[in-house]
């Protein structure tokens, strides 16, 4: 299966030092997914193209890569 950029809404806690902690990811269909844990945070290039701050996350026990690119969030997702 091929990966693609799936732009998503993200609920974020922004700390007074400017750091961000993603808490929930929202799909277009209204579903929301709690981010159980942020494993790592680093500047990376996405396999789907583009780059930004990659948050490697655990969501419902699955590792997912969530990116903050300029002023938008996307997740590497598989084509349906």
Residue 77 pLDDT class (50, 70, 90 cuts): confident
Q: How far apart are alpha carbons 33 and 4 in whole angstroms?
A: 19
The number of helices, as runs of H, and strands, as runs of E, in the chain is 0, 7
CA-CA distance, 71 to 12, in Å (whole number)? 13
- Percentage of residues of the chain with pLDDT beyond 90: 84
- The first and second tokens of residue 51, run together, are 């780059």
pTM of the model as a whole: 0.90
């Amino acid at each position: 299966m091929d990966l693609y950029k799936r732009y998503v809404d993200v609920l974020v806690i922004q700390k007074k030092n400017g750091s961000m902690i993603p808490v929930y990811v929202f799909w277009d269909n209204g579903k929301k997914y709690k981010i159980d844990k942020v494993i790592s945070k680093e500047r990376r290039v996405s396999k789907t193209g583009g780059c930004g701050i990659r948050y490697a996350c655990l969501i419902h026990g699955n590792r997912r890569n969530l990116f903050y690119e300029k002023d938008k969030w996307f997740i590497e997702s598989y084509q349906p």
